[in-house]
């Protein structure tokens, strides 16, 4: 059985200076309640790993607005003007990563691999400071793995064993981040008394530490 906790308790599992992975693609599949607790507790100096910084008035975007993030490792920031402003003002470090590369770096972190070789970014500003490896006459960037102290993900349904089902496009980054963090909090719309059908499990309960309804 996994520990079912309130959003308030879950929020206290995140600490100052933590690296935090947060699932979601813009507003789709974002764990909003736990994010609100981070804001309420004013937990700052966070390194955020996510697809994006959402919008200024929603989920991850509100962490930016409240200046709780010191570095964002994301694929884009175009939907959040405050992220752009803070980056240009030198108030926030932003590492922009191609979307496929970001998910593979997280996957490597979860699998204990040393990194992934990708041709994406070769010959562009992205290659600056990175190791270039030539294989079979083709150049690749060595993109290093990403891990986190805490991953906060969304689920449509969870059972009491921590198994998660995510409907449709809410799966996005929510299915891979739980493999790459020390502590995993799943915020679920529904917690089922009966175990989920194995055929519908997207994230096995072995990866999940806490469940929030």
Segments making up each domain of the chain, as ranges: 3-105+146-212
Q: What is the C-alpha to C-alpha distance for residues 208 and 213, in angstroms, rounded to an integer?
A: 14
Residue 87 in this model has a pLDDT that exceeds 90? yes
pLDDT reading at 48 higher than 90: yes
Its pTM stands at 0.96
The confidence score (pLDDT) of residue 66 equals 98
Residue 162 CB coordination number (10 Å)? 25
**What is the spatial distance between Cα 198 and Cα 77, in angstroms, rounded to a whole number?**
36
**Mean pLDDT confidence for 184-201:** 96
Q: What is the CA radius of gyration of the chain?
A: 17
pLDDT per residue over 2-23, tens digit each? 899 999 999 999 999 999 999 9
Between CA 3 and CA 1 the distance in angstroms is 7
The SS3 assignment for 149 reads strand
pLDDT confidence band for 137 (50 / 70 / 90): very high
Q: What is the mean pLDDT of residues 155-183?
A: 97
Q: What is the CATH number of domain 3-105+146-212?
A: 3.40.1080.10
CA–centroid distance for 175 within its chain: 10
């Amino acid at each position: 059985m996994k520990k079912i906790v309130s959003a308030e308790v879950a929020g206290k599992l995140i600490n100052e200076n933590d690296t935090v992975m947060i699932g979601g693609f813009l507003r789709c599949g974002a764990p909003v309640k736990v994010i609100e607790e981070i804001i309420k507790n004013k937990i700052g100096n966070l390194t955020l790993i996510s697809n994006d910084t959402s919008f200024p008035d929603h989920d991850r975007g509100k962490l930016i607005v409240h200046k709780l993030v010191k570095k964002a490792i994301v694929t884009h920031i175009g939907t959040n003007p405050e992220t752009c402003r803070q980056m240009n003002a030198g108030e926030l470090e932003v590492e922009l990563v191609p979307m496929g590369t970001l998910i593979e770096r997280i996957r490597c972190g979860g699998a204990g691999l040393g990194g992934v070789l990708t041709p994406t970014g070769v010959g562009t500003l992205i290659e600056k400071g990175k190791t270039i490896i030539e294989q079979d006459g083709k150049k690749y960037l060595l993109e290093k793995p990403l891990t986190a102290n805490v991953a906060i993900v969304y689920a449509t349904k969870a059972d009491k064993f921590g198994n998660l089902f995510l409907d449709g496009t809410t799966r996005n980054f929510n299915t891979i981040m739980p493999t790459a963090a020390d502590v995993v909090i799943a915020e679920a719309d529904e917690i089922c008394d009966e175990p989920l059908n194995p055929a519908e499990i997207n994230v096995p309960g072995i990866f999940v530490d806490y469940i929030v309804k």
